[in-house]
Structure 1
Amino acid sequence: MQKEELLHLHMLMIHIKKYYENVTNEEIETERYNSLEISPVHIHKDKKAHKDALLTLGDEIVTHIHHRPVQVVNYSSETASQKVAAEH
């Protein structure tokens, strides 16, 4: 993977975090990611630093979501004929 691609994925992961926080009104704790002191705009940092940051941020997001209670969605045959779309 090229460094430019890692920078792009790093930025996307930041957007995923912000989107999740905005939709759920929950803050994802990212102490390990923050301690790396790197962001997608730090283009001068090396490829390994961005890879480590990307993996660390991803791990903290997944860990946060994993520890949340599972939301149960009830489905009935009455709603089967209706079109349903869920964005948020």
Structure 2
Amino acid sequence: MTVLGDRVQKEELLHLHMLFIHVRKYYETITNEEIPTERYNSLHISPVHIHKNKKSHKEAILVLGQEIVDHIGRKPAMLSFSHEMSTPSEIAVEN
């Protein structure tokens, strides 16, 4: 079984693909550095390409995710939490 199994609907893949784009852009915004995504860019697919097949979107998600993880993994732990953020005991848990 692959990470993105065959039972995943195309609409779900498009949402996940868009989420990864948002993750990349958010990281780039808060760090002021660009995540290199040459492999992803070479696929010539984006979440708005709704007519591309599921396999193409799965590949794009996996490649983009790997490039994000690889980039962040090469960086020293530079992201920190604000003192104003909730402590774990203050976080509400939904049952």
Cα offset, 1:52, TM superposition? 0.1
What fraction of aligned residue pairs are identical, expressed as a percent? 66
Name the aligned partner's letter for residue 38 of structure 1.
I
Distance 2:38 2:79 in 1: 30
Distance 1:47 1:72 in 2: 34
Equivalent position of 1:8 in the other structure: 15
Q: Give the number of the structure whose alpha-carbon radius of gyration is greater.
A: 1
Distance 1:10 1:66 in 2: 21
Cα offset, 1:72, TM superposition? 8.6
Name the aligned partner's letter for residue 56 of structure 1.
V
Cα offset, 1:85, TM superposition? 1.4
Equivalent position of 2:91 in the other structure: none
Equivalent position of 2:71 in the other structure: 64
1:21 aligns with 2:25: no
TM-score of the two chains, using structure 2 as the length reference: 0.76
Measured against aligned partners, the alpha-carbon deviations of 1:35-79 in whole angstroms (never above 9, x if no partner) come to 000000000100000000000000000000000012397xxxxxx
Name the aligned partner's letter for residue 19 of structure 1.
Y
Distance 1:41 1:35 in 2: 16
RMSD: 1.8
TM-score of the two chains, using structure 1 as the length reference: 0.81
Report SS of the residue matched to 2:47.
Answer: coil
Equivalent position of 2:38 in the other structure: 31
Relative to structure 1, is the Cα distance of residues 2 and 72 closer, same or farther in structure 2, using a 3 angstrom cutoff? closer
Report SS of the residue matched to 1:19.
Answer: helix
